[in-house]
Structure 1
Amino acid sequence: MEYTIRVAQAGDMEQVHQLIQELATFEKEEHAVEVSVQDLKEHGFGKQKLFHCFVAEKNQKIVGMALVYPRYSTWKGPVIHLEDLIVTKEMRGTGLGTALLDEVVKYGDELGVRRICWEVLDWNEPAIGFYESKGANVMRDWDVVQLDQKGIKAYLNAIA
């Protein structure tokens, strides 16, 4: 299967948003996506770029994407976080996921990062197997901790 991988452009964000929604549905969180196409354009291509995105294109349709952003580890130094690596259902098993991950790793190396990190749902065994086959360490003894927007407001109200 022929596809090309390139750095995303603002005009790609509608199709990227569709992929994000497809992933949310796969993860049984179809109503959790709050980010809009406009948010993606502003946050990825506005004055303050918050992320870097690669897209995979086949027949002028985006069939995969990988979105990363910078972080800093007090133990390691510069890090990038892979927020999502998404491949459309029809393109799974074609090597596209590997090709996108290759681009992320090359990008991280170009930036001089000391770690690339991401999360995977504990029930997504195909993804876990894929990442482990690439040499990634799935750290099953760590839990993800978050404050969502409502939690942030509640926290601030509690300390006010």
Structure 2
Amino acid sequence: MKFSIRKATKEDMAQVLHLIHELAIFEKEENAVEVRVEDLVKDGFGPTPLFQCFVAETSEGIKGLALVYARYSTWKGPTLHLEDLIVTEKMRGTGMGTALLNEVIRYGHALGVKRINWEVLDWNEPAIAFYESKGANVMRNWDVVHLDEKGIQNYIRKI
């Protein structure tokens, strides 16, 4: 099936949210998604966009996405974070993931970033193999640290 890659628009955010939910189910966190279409529109297309999103589109609609945002490394300088690269199950193995990753790499290169980083679940061996085949270094000796909204509130109460 043919597809094209382009920057997302506000009008794409309902389909983007659908893919985010699909990823959450795949990652066994189906009830964790709190973001709404309105949030994606406000956060991605407001006066100070918080992210850039690329979509992979077929004649049947959006079947993949890559969502990125700027970060800063105290060791390297400007970096880009790939929050999610999602390809709907039916389209895996078609080159869509590679095309989306290519777009992210081109975008980061054009911005002049020193590094592009992302996380992958340690049990997602197909994704790990995919990223390693592209030359990415999967750093298994680092742990991701999160402080969620409730944790932030608890922390604030203690200081």
Pairwise same-fold verdict (TM > 0.5): yes
What is the distance in 2 between the residues matched to 1:94 and 1:60?
15
> 2:112 corresponds to which residue?
112
Q: Residue 135 of structure 2: SS of its match in structure 1?
A: coil
> 1:139 corresponds to which residue?
139
1:48 offset after TM fit, Å?
Answer: 1.5
What is the distance in 2 between the residues matched to 1:129 and 1:60?
28
- Aligned counterparts, 1:11-160, within 5 A: 11-159=11-159
Which moves more between the two structures, 107-116 or 59-68? 59-68
Amino acid at match of 1:49: P
What is the distance in 1 between the residues matched to 2:30 and 2:154?
25
Amino acid at match of 2:47: K
Q: Residue 5 of structure 2: SS of its match in structure 1?
A: strand
Q: Residue 57 of structure 2: SS of its match in structure 1?
A: strand
Structure 2 gaps, min length 5: none
What is the distance in 2 between the residues matched to 1:60 and 1:31?
26
Report the TM-score, using the length of structure 1 for normalisation.
0.98
Count of aligned residue pairs for this structure pair: 159
Q: Residue 48 of structure 2: SS of its match in structure 1?
A: coil
What is the distance in 2 between the residues matched to 1:56 and 1:145?
30
Amino acid at match of 2:83: E
Report the TM-score, using the length of structure 2 for normalisation.
0.99
1:3 offset after TM fit, Å?
Answer: 0.4
Structure 1 gaps, min length 5: none
1:47 offset after TM fit, Å?
Answer: 1.4
Q: Residue 48 of structure 1: SS of its match in structure 2?
A: coil
Q: Deviations over 1:132-152 (max 9, x none)?
A: 000000000000001100000
Q: Residue 29 of structure 2: SS of its match in structure 1?
A: coil
Compared CA separation, residues 60 and 9, structure 1 to 2 (3 A): farther
Structure 1 outlier segments of 4+, above 2 Å: none
Amino acid at match of 2:41: K
